[in-house]
Structure 1
């Protein structure tokens, strides 16, 4: 007999989860009346997906009836301390029931009880032989209900990713039965619900106790047998708290509900109500996707894409204001095969398979004509691909990827469909669905599927352009897009295409040198250990360090002793073997990642062509991949030596490097308005010595020794990153009390900095985001989080992002201006690399003096701050010599 399926949804939980999943786009999700709709949008997506997947015969969405429940009767502090519910969330809740009814589901709430209790009561009321139950929630509390016929789907990311909790999954994840989840919360508590638990007992300890004693009550039956410890003391002292916590965590499966499963028949969507709801919320993409085959209701169908697969460019339109796209299946566009070229607008779309279109004279003329404007997705990718055919792609007026990234920095996928979905466009399948993934990735056998996919990409780019343009305008980000990111994309493309010459012979020499060093360190480690073993095996190393050598055990893992770097660093001074192991690991990583790694990515032109990812970080900083040249560990001499292999492309040329001096602290001085910090830079003082004088009470700069300057430097940069007294104490190897004194004194001496930090956090809590000097935004969904750690991290991010992001923006502006001046001066000097605050060039030796003046002047004058900017430069035969 086919079973019925009961779908039970925790309404408050998924609405709250949905609200924060789309929080970064909060201001974009509004209807014409100004109502925020992000939570409604997310819930609709979640419920639509789960209804399709589960295909329930019965369904209910349960809600909490109010803030007070029967649990408050025996613990007034239950769920106390939660952050105030955002008004943008509260205003959407009355409309949630309209959505649920439109989807054809019933909803219910019960005074003095929670949604969990309603769900638990209904889940346990059905005959397991007749019903399978699926529960959808954002709260793991409900996992205690899992059984052979009850599965709990917990949302874990965004609005689409879930984790299915069955008894088997709970056993695999925790080693517990579902019912023991209650006991785990009784012992460990639950901060989100303000369930106290027993002091100093976390989830891992609770699980360990429950594996041995099964229940909270079982723990107390055996507590007297336990060895004397602080845990035992806490357990004894807090027995009543543990039992109460368990009671708080227990879902009432016998709640006095006035509905039965027989009242919850599900027969599909109520199209009349749903369409009215979608129209009121301006959910046009959902309207377009509605399948109303069985409903007598007219609705706009998913647009049919008309396009032409062409074999001769002469038959296809190439005019102004077109969308243009080159399709490549591999991530690295320097080497990926070109599988198609497509272009068009809202009326005509054309697709050519293969790369022949890029060799057609008419196409070449179109692409190189700056008067014929093009809209694209990922300008840099297309520019590099076209350059491989000796085509200079001109006239690109809009890049959808860059614009989407500026609007919300999480919009950075190479897949157009993924970004389009965040703007309510669902008419394009994701690449993975069409091409597959991994070794199976390729063009589908049915060519029409492939060509239609390309046509839909043109349609998506065309659809997104006006929406993104409007967003940029409303957020005052048009200058950021048109004057910074779009021109920078071309500069980065030129840098990638140029590449940097690498001396493979020098790398091979280093490979031999480092192999010798590693052998020496190995022998030293073996001598200290008294035997040979596999140094790269954490298990073997753990046995040597903690069993044979009896070093203090810092941390254990499931498989044995932890030998992670942070653990070994805490053991420094205990034995010489620790320093040798750390050094061995450092050299081994340099050898494998950089020496051997770089040798693998040298092109036939003897150059490395790194790719700069312009849309990865949330601060606007550039990233380098294939290979990553920004992570070469230059603090170690062996790491710095890697730069010896980077050389100019011609004899008689030099590499030239210039980097901003303390740019983030200068930005801090500007945006904080602190008069003392500003004056130190205006007077050209050594900022770390200046800080040491003010914070440590030293009268003259001459009295600031190396140690004091080092401490002041740690304080300066710690402040920029919102460091805590604990973090500073770890960095400097001092007590937390001393570190707190340093920080307090710093704020006393630099009151403008303290005010800035307080103001920016307050502003972030109000707006939900922070901005750089150039209106680059970073959204902070955890800035008002209940969880202290999440909230604290968001606050530190709020402090740092305007500083780090503005510094990144300033360097981008400098790069654009330097590029313009180099071209205007018709110099041979070429910009090759950007590494954090550093720019690397190659130039004829006779141009070096002029280049130095041009670069340092341009970097210093790139923007107008309240304090001067300064760039330090050097040159040499290799990148190593230039630093």
Structure 2
């Protein structure tokens, strides 16, 4: 078998990936765009190159042996954005999972490692492929080594062989260092000869071959000014060539035999993909894990009818639905466990039984369940109310550690050292192999789940008490699950004719925009075809190409946004795409999921997903309805009351997170705005820019707003510069001025980090915890991300706690006042109700009252409300 070595410039490819892709986050808030781009590049390399040996080289530090020659080498480079820095540890973990060797060497660059190993490999009969985004490495090209350089991102590759270098520049690969010596390299701060660019340098090399020959033959160089430049800078030209030369004799300790490649560790790779949220990559893998635990048999009675004598006062009730969407999918069976035995009740048997219904609805019959909301909704759909729930394993486990996001009961059980249970994936199979086994096997599987709930219950409740989290479970999250279940069952009505009318309006708008685009382009083409669009933009209209893909020009949103000011057509294309998404995702999406009998949509609220405690929703996701475009805002016109003569009533917290920050930090300056009813962003602008209220401009307020919402979440100078369109230096100065203006906020940030280091976690006002083990990491980048998490979580989490408490208080108040009004939706900091018009006056009084007094803070909570015939009118 032929030997093939692939050498990858790790830093360069990571940088390329970071700047080629928009900032992405996983559900834990970790930025993942560089990791994802790196992974895609890596998987393509492995597939296309099929190396027998592979290594990824990294730079070891800022200082190398080259700095001894020229102290300003690589000087002036901007600091690596923390959003990228935090991703390097994950890239290294990823490589370990791939079982790909990685190496760095003190005092040397990744280039030197690659240069040294490529030469060793050539001498040992290897074919070598070098992959980088840095053209410096093209000097290594030879008959045995090809250097692949990524261009404008990570998807387009230019292959540098000696022949290609000759065709492109008219010089040999060995002369690349001479080219750098003459023209320099701004990215590495290699000076070269001032005023000599690539064209002039190549002309000199075509004639004189090397830097040394150019200097020795300076009198023969055409042009007196150029002669003078060469003469004045000849020493620097020699130094520049030396700086650009990759050493091929670095003291690399790794041997070629150490970097052979035999494939990844699949299970480690699956774990990392899961942690990072790379679901598309997970889908391509077989994630089924083998289980070799010997499971004990349980005696289970399979019922063909339900009798009253099987129920006890204390019961464990487990309901099995195979699909995540329990609103749309039927259950396959029910497991009941109590002092009288273990029972399997087929779904049809349960719903045909008056005895089961009486048991389910009896408040006195206590029930421990796995997922209260799912259990209530799945039974409620069949006309059976479920009462008496006292324990929910899913919620309790989530409170103990919200980082563990698996909803498989077996995973939760194993985290608490209970192993007598099989995972659903192992039991039912995966993908095309997925099936429901015979009743005997199914009843045993469900019985083991009920047994797990029963066995874990007391242990988990005790842990909650130890953590001072029992009240959070009992008084907030568990009762909230009942309210969310009611909301899911109730659903929200859609005005189908109005939605269809909007669809027609958007279709007409799309046609009008399409015609405008064709007019600006000078021809008709398929706007949805990236290939055709790329030709129009970058060839016909000659717009600057930002990046290219394998199949042509990139026309992704981030590319077009950078070109928005270049040509009117770009703005029209972006608008066309935004409207197209509203049409397909929301108009068509809502029409698709609306119940044809009731015209209602029944979203599912995710209560145990986020680490901050925030709720989210799915099928449909009503928390992401676009509101920046007028057409997006108008979507809310389609949400209407389910009863004739009723209204929609919406109430939302004003700047709740900033109010929480003011309370937690006790900063007098920040709190003053809320105590005096001022606009907090105007107040911040006054404090930071040292101006009066009348002198605050709209731009000052915009900057203040960005830093207000960003600073405590660990926004970096890079992140702020991106959001405001200013330089990193300006953004850094603005952050400094902000922290000087609000010293207690700065103290809070330090104290949060200290608390996380001392305890291993941070807490919200209601004792919700987020564990941050990375806070003590020796790795600076991992630790920095953990510090930002420590600052952010108490604020976001406390805001989540407050609105959850408000939902519970409002639910109780509606019953207390004997109102017909119903809570329909929770979207971010907003609660949406439907109610009879005659209840409007009392809602206007009690909703702000309950929401503003949900939790007592040092600054007042403020609630704004509105109402009308649609959700849109209630904004």
In structure 2, relative to structure 1, the CA distance for the partners of 1:240 and 1:428 (3 Å cut) is farther
Partner of 1:411: 404
Matches of 1:761 and 1:732, distance apart in 2: 27
In structure 2, relative to structure 1, the CA distance for the partners of 1:536 and 1:671 (3 Å cut) is same
Partner of 1:172: 46
Asked if 1 retains the 8 angstrom alpha-carbon contact of 2:493 and 2:599, the reply is: yes
Asked if 2 retains the 8 angstrom alpha-carbon contact of 1:187 and 1:246, the reply is: no
CA displacement, residues 836-860 of structure 1 (integer Å, 9 cap, x when unaligned)? 0000001111111101110000111
1:458 aligns with 2:461: no
Asked if 1 retains the 8 angstrom alpha-carbon contact of 2:607 and 2:615, the reply is: yes
Structure 1 residue 333 displacement after superposition = 1.3
Partner of 2:851: 859
Matches of 1:457 and 1:504, distance apart in 2: 42
Q: Select 2:254's aligned residue among 248, 251, 262.
A: 251
Partner of 1:703: 695
Secondary structure of the residue aligned to 2:498 is helix
Secondary structure of the residue aligned to 1:344 is strand
Partner of 1:622: 615
Structure 1 residue 244 displacement after superposition = 7.1
Partner of 2:353: 360
1:261-300 → structure 2 map (5 Å cutoff)? none
In structure 2, relative to structure 1, the CA distance for the partners of 1:180 and 1:419 (3 Å cut) is closer
1:613 aligns with 2:615: no
Asked if 1 retains the 8 angstrom alpha-carbon contact of 2:586 and 2:625, the reply is: yes
Q: Select 1:323's aligned residue among 299, 309, 316.
A: 316
1:64-83 → structure 2 map (5 Å cutoff)? none
Asked if 1 retains the 8 angstrom alpha-carbon contact of 2:111 and 2:137, the reply is: no
Secondary structure of the residue aligned to 2:55 is helix
In structure 2, relative to structure 1, the CA distance for the partners of 1:311 and 1:584 (3 Å cut) is same
Structure 1 residue 169 displacement after superposition = 7.3
CA displacement, residues 47-104 of structure 1 (integer Å, 9 cap, x when unaligned)? xxxxxxxxxxxxxxxxxxxxxxxxxxxxxxxxxxxxxxxxxxxxxxxxxxxxxxxxxx
In structure 2, relative to structure 1, the CA distance for the partners of 1:528 and 1:746 (3 Å cut) is same
In structure 2, relative to structure 1, the CA distance for the partners of 1:855 and 1:246 (3 Å cut) is farther
Matches of 2:550 and 2:864, distance apart in 1: 49
Structure 1 residue 802 displacement after superposition = 0.8
Asked if 2 retains the 8 angstrom alpha-carbon contact of 1:187 and 1:242, the reply is: no
Partner of 1:564: 556
1:726 aligns with 2:741: no
In structure 2, relative to structure 1, the CA distance for the partners of 1:387 and 1:543 (3 Å cut) is same
Structure 1 residue 435 displacement after superposition = 2.2
In structure 2, relative to structure 1, the CA distance for the partners of 1:742 and 1:290 (3 Å cut) is closer
1:417-432 → structure 2 map (5 Å cutoff)? 417-432=410-425
Asked if 1 retains the 8 angstrom alpha-carbon contact of 2:656 and 2:799, the reply is: yes
Matches of 1:404 and 1:243, distance apart in 2: 54
Asked if 1 retains the 8 angstrom alpha-carbon contact of 2:305 and 2:349, the reply is: no
Structure 1 residue 192 displacement after superposition = 10
In structure 2, relative to structure 1, the CA distance for the partners of 1:207 and 1:638 (3 Å cut) is farther
Structure 1 residue 471 displacement after superposition = 1.8
Secondary structure of the residue aligned to 1:313 is coil
1:870 aligns with 2:852: no
Asked if 2 retains the 8 angstrom alpha-carbon contact of 1:186 and 1:244, the reply is: no
Secondary structure of the residue aligned to 1:417 is helix
Matches of 2:777 and 2:140, distance apart in 1: 30
Partner of 2:664: 671
Asked if 2 retains the 8 angstrom alpha-carbon contact of 1:186 and 1:245, the reply is: no
Asked if 2 retains the 8 angstrom alpha-carbon contact of 1:180 and 1:210, the reply is: no
Secondary structure of the residue aligned to 1:834 is strand
Q: Select 2:463's aligned residue among 437, 459, 471.
A: 471
Partner of 1:397: 390
Matches of 1:755 and 1:187, distance apart in 2: 31
Structure 1 residue 442 displacement after superposition = 3.2
Partner of 1:196: 109
Asked if 2 retains the 8 angstrom alpha-carbon contact of 1:307 and 1:351, the reply is: yes
Matches of 1:383 and 1:184, distance apart in 2: 54
Matches of 1:412 and 1:882, distance apart in 2: 35
1:688 aligns with 2:652: no
In structure 2, relative to structure 1, the CA distance for the partners of 1:565 and 1:331 (3 Å cut) is same
Asked if 2 retains the 8 angstrom alpha-carbon contact of 1:187 and 1:198, the reply is: no
CA displacement, residues 558-614 of structure 1 (integer Å, 9 cap, x when unaligned)? 443322222221112111111111111111101100001000011121111111010
Matches of 1:561 and 1:380, distance apart in 2: 48
In structure 2, relative to structure 1, the CA distance for the partners of 1:607 and 1:421 (3 Å cut) is same
Pairs aligned (count) = 676
In structure 2, relative to structure 1, the CA distance for the partners of 1:535 and 1:789 (3 Å cut) is farther
Matches of 1:556 and 1:763, distance apart in 2: 47
Partner of 1:181: 55
Matches of 2:609 and 2:674, distance apart in 1: 32
Partner of 1:642: 635
Matches of 1:845 and 1:315, distance apart in 2: 45
Structure 1 residue 315 displacement after superposition = 8.0
TM-score, normalised via structure 1 length:
0.71
TM-score, normalised via structure 2 length:
0.71
**Unaligned ranges ≥5, structure 1:** 1-126, 129-139, 141-164, 256-287, 292-301
1:437-836 → structure 2 map (5 Å cutoff)? 437-438=430-431, 440-444=433-437, 446-603=438-595, 604-699=597-692, 701-785=693-777, 788-836=780-828
Structure 1 residue 518 displacement after superposition = 0.8
CA displacement, residues 176-228 of structure 1 (integer Å, 9 cap, x when unaligned)? 73445267889998579896324999578799887877569997686447897
Partner of 1:150: none
In structure 2, relative to structure 1, the CA distance for the partners of 1:865 and 1:242 (3 Å cut) is farther
Secondary structure of the residue aligned to 2:702 is helix
Secondary structure of the residue aligned to 1:443 is coil
Partner of 1:336: 329
Asked if 2 retains the 8 angstrom alpha-carbon contact of 1:551 and 1:574, the reply is: yes
Asked if 1 retains the 8 angstrom alpha-carbon contact of 2:359 and 2:365, the reply is: yes
Asked if 1 retains the 8 angstrom alpha-carbon contact of 2:318 and 2:370, the reply is: yes
Matches of 1:555 and 1:528, distance apart in 2: 22
Matches of 1:192 and 1:421, distance apart in 2: 41
Higher mean Cα deviation, 337-346 or 323-332?
337-346
Asked if 1 retains the 8 angstrom alpha-carbon contact of 2:848 and 2:863, the reply is: yes
1:23-102 → structure 2 map (5 Å cutoff)? none
In structure 2, relative to structure 1, the CA distance for the partners of 1:317 and 1:179 (3 Å cut) is same
Asked if 2 retains the 8 angstrom alpha-carbon contact of 1:309 and 1:350, the reply is: yes
Matches of 1:315 and 1:213, distance apart in 2: 85
Matches of 1:381 and 1:199, distance apart in 2: 58
In structure 2, relative to structure 1, the CA distance for the partners of 1:239 and 1:424 (3 Å cut) is farther
Asked if 1 retains the 8 angstrom alpha-carbon contact of 2:639 and 2:871, the reply is: yes
Provide the aligned C-alpha RMSD in A. Answer: 3.5
In structure 2, relative to structure 1, the CA distance for the partners of 1:695 and 1:464 (3 Å cut) is same
Partner of 1:144: none
Asked if 2 retains the 8 angstrom alpha-carbon contact of 1:182 and 1:249, the reply is: no
CA displacement, residues 351-400 of structure 1 (integer Å, 9 cap, x when unaligned)? 12233213312222221111111110010000011112322211111000
Structure 1 residue 795 displacement after superposition = 2.4
Secondary structure of the residue aligned to 1:881 is helix
Matches of 1:706 and 1:563, distance apart in 2: 33
Partner of 2:372: 379
In structure 2, relative to structure 1, the CA distance for the partners of 1:323 and 1:220 (3 Å cut) is farther
Matches of 1:388 and 1:863, distance apart in 2: 34
Matches of 1:244 and 1:487, distance apart in 2: 67
Secondary structure of the residue aligned to 1:355 is helix
Structure 1 residue 334 displacement after superposition = 1.4
Structure 1 residue 866 displacement after superposition = 0.8
Matches of 2:113 and 2:666, distance apart in 1: 43
